[in-house]
A and B are shown apart, each in its own frame.
Chain A
Amino acid sequence: MSSHLDLRDVSVSFNGFKALNALNMSVRKGELRCLIGPNGAGKTTALDIICGKVKPSSGTVSFDGTALQDLEEYEIARAGVGRKFQVPSVFRELSVSDNLEVARARRTSVLGNLRWNTGNSGREDIERLAELVGLTEQLDRPAAYLSHGQTQWLEIGMLVAQDAELILMDEPTAGMTAQETRKTAELFARLKGKHTLIVVEHDMGFVKAIGDIISVMHMGQMLAEGTAAEVEAHPEVRRAYLGSGGISHA
Chain B
Amino acid sequence: MPSNAPNSSGLQRLIAQLAPLLIVCAVVFALPVLLNNDFLLNKVARYLVLGILTISLGLSWGFGGILNLGQAMSFGLGSYAMAMALKLKTVPVHTGASGLPDFMVWNNVAHLPWFWEPFRSLSFAIAAGLIVPALVAAALGWFMFRGRVTGVYVSIITLATMVVINLVIIDQQSYTGGFNGITDLAQLEIFGVAFDAYGRATYYLVAGCVLLSLLVAFAFTKSKAGLIVQAIRDHESRVRYFGYDVALYQIFVFALSAAIAGLAGMLYTVVMEFASPTFLGVQLSLSVWFGAPSAAGKAWSGRSSAPCWWRACRARCRNPRPSSKPGRW
Contact = CB atoms under 8 A, between A and B. Distances in A.
Interface of A: 51, 53, 72-74, 77-78, 82-83, 85, 89-95, 97-99, 101-103, 105, 107-110, 113-120, 122-123, 137-138, 140-142, 145, 147, 158, 162
Contacts of A116: 1-3, 219, 222-223
A216 to B, nearest CB: 26
27 contacts: A51-B241, A73-B237, A73-B240, A74-B245, A77-B240, A77-B241, A91-B238, A92-B234, A94-B230, A94-B231, A98-B227, A102-B227, A102-B231, A102-B242, A105-B244, A107-B224, A110-B248, A110-B249, A110-B252, A113-B228, A116-B2, A116-B222, A117-B3, A123-B10, A138-B327, A140-B323, A141-B320
Nearest to A162: B242
Given A93-B318, A110-B249, A73 B238 contact: no
Interface string B1-36: 111101100100000000000000000000000000
Interface in B226-281: 227-228, 230-231, 233-235, 237-246, 248-249, 252
A84 B244 CA distance: 16
A96 B140 CA distance: 34
Contacts of A114: 220, 223-225
B235 A92 contact: yes
Contacts, number: 126
A145 B227 contact: no
A250 to B, nearest CB: 27
Given A89-B235, A93-B230, A102-B231, A77 B225 contact: no
B267 to A, nearest CB: 25
B314 to A, nearest CB: 10
B9 to A, nearest CB: 10
B224 A101 contact: yes
Contacts of A78: 243
A115 B241 CA distance: 22
A91 B239 CA distance: 9
A85 B235 CA distance: 13
Contact of B244 (A74, A94, A115, A140): A74
Given A91-B235, A93-B230, A110-B252, A119 B6 contact: yes
Contacts of B248: 109-110
A123 B320 contact: no
Contacts of A74: 240-241, 243-246
Contacts of A118: 1, 6
B246 to A, nearest CB: 7
A120 B6 contact: yes
Contacts of B222: 116
B321 interface: yes
Contacts of A120: 6-7
A115 B224 CA distance: 8
B114 interface: no
Closest 8 CB pairs of A and B: A117-B3, A77-B243, A113-B225, A73-B240, A113-B224, A91-B234, A78-B243, A105-B242
A93 B242 contact: no
A73 B241 contact: yes
B149 interface: no
A117 B231 contact: no
Contacts of B215: none
A93 B4 CA distance: 16
A137 B327 contact: yes
Nearest to B219: A116
Nearest to A119: B6
B2 to A, nearest CB: 5
Given A105-B244, A122-B4, A137-B328, 10 more contacts: A85-B238, A90-B235, A98-B231, A101-B224, A108-B245, A114-B224, A116-B1, A116-B2, A116-B222, A141-B327
A65 B246 CA distance: 26
A119 B6 CA distance: 7
Contacts of B249: 110
Interface in B186-205: none
B329 interface: yes
B7 A117 contact: no
B317 interface: yes
B188 to A, nearest CB: 31
Given A74-B246, A94-B234, A105-B244, A110 B225 contact: yes
A162 B219 CA distance: 25
Contacts of A99: 231
B320 A142 contact: yes
A103 B242 contact: yes
